[in-house]
Amino acid sequence: MEIQLHDKYINVEFSSEQVSMFTDIVEEDLAMKRILLTIAQHADAHKNESDLNSGISIKQLSEKVIIKRKVQKDGKSKKYTISETNIDRKHVERIVDSLSNMTLCYFKSFHPTKVIFLTPRGRSIATELIRRQIAKPIPSSKE
């Protein structure tokens, strides 16, 4: 969402059911999950800096987030392999649009770029994601 809309609804919170629901939605898409957590991680790591630095850009997200995806072999070859690599920029843009539509993040224009921040609702989803991660049983070495 745009910053004006974010400011208007800044105090709107999700109920616990809604937190659970949105967390389920985000958790189904690993890329979305990592993008959301990267936005959160960046915001807290830079919270004492200026507005511009505490937000994260699309470019920075594509440089930080790693997922398994098809990568073209040797640049021009028509063969693809699955490998762990940086997420594609277009993919980041689509995910950020989805997160924004879910009101989990908002953006501010700092010409020529747009910078993305977490909303309080996004923070509650990120928190729930981490909580679930912590609560996951550690896989047995026998499995």
Partner 1 sequence: MMFRSNPPSINMTVVGFGQAGSRIADKLAAYKMRDGNSTYNVLALNSNDGDLEELKHITQENRVSLKLGGLGKNPEKAMSILEENSQAKETLKQFITQKVRTQDKLVLFIAGLGGGTGTATIVKAIEEFHEFHNMGIVKNALLDIRKSTDDSDFKANFKKYQVQAFNKVKDQFVKIGVIATIPVRSDGPDVLRQVNEFASKIWALAKNPAKGIAFVNFPDNQMFYDRFVSDPNSQKQAKNYRDFANDEISSIIHEINTGTNGSGTSVIFDSNDFRRIVMEKEGCFVINRLEVDYKSVSNSDDLSKLFVKSIESNNLHDPIALIETNDNGDKQYAKVHHIGLLGIIPPDLNRFGSSFIDNAKEDVVKHLPLQGTIFSGFLVEPNNYKISVYSFYKTDALPSRLSKGLVKEYEEYMAKQRSITFKEDSIQQIAVTSEEDIDLGLDLSDFGIDSSTEPEEPDENIEWMDFSNIDPNSIN
> Which residue ranges make up the site for partner 1 (CB under 8 A)?
15-16, 30, 33-35, 37-38, 40-41, 43-45, 47, 64-66, 126-127, 129-131, 133-135
User: Min. distance of Cβ 66 from partner 1 in angstroms?
Assistant: 5
Q: Between 3 and 19, name the residue whose CB sits nearer to partner 1.
A: 19
Q: Between 56 and 115, name the residue whose CB sits nearer to partner 1.
A: 56
Nearest to 39, CA basis, from 102, 84, 112: 102
The tokens describing 131, both together, are 């909580």
User: Min. distance of Cβ 99 from partner 1 in angstroms?
Assistant: 13
Half-sphere exposure of 2 (CA within 13 A, CB side): 3
User: Min. distance of Cβ 124 from partner 1 in angstroms?
Assistant: 9
User: Min. distance of Cβ 34 from partner 1 in angstroms?
Assistant: 4
User: How big is the chain, counted in residues?
Assistant: 143
Give Cβ neighbours of residue 101 (< 8 Å, ≥ 6 apart).
1
| Tokens 């990592």 belong to residue | 34
Q: Between 34 and 91, name the residue whose CB sits nearer to partner 1.
A: 34
Contact between residue 89 and residue 55 where contact means Cβ atoms under 8 Å apart? no
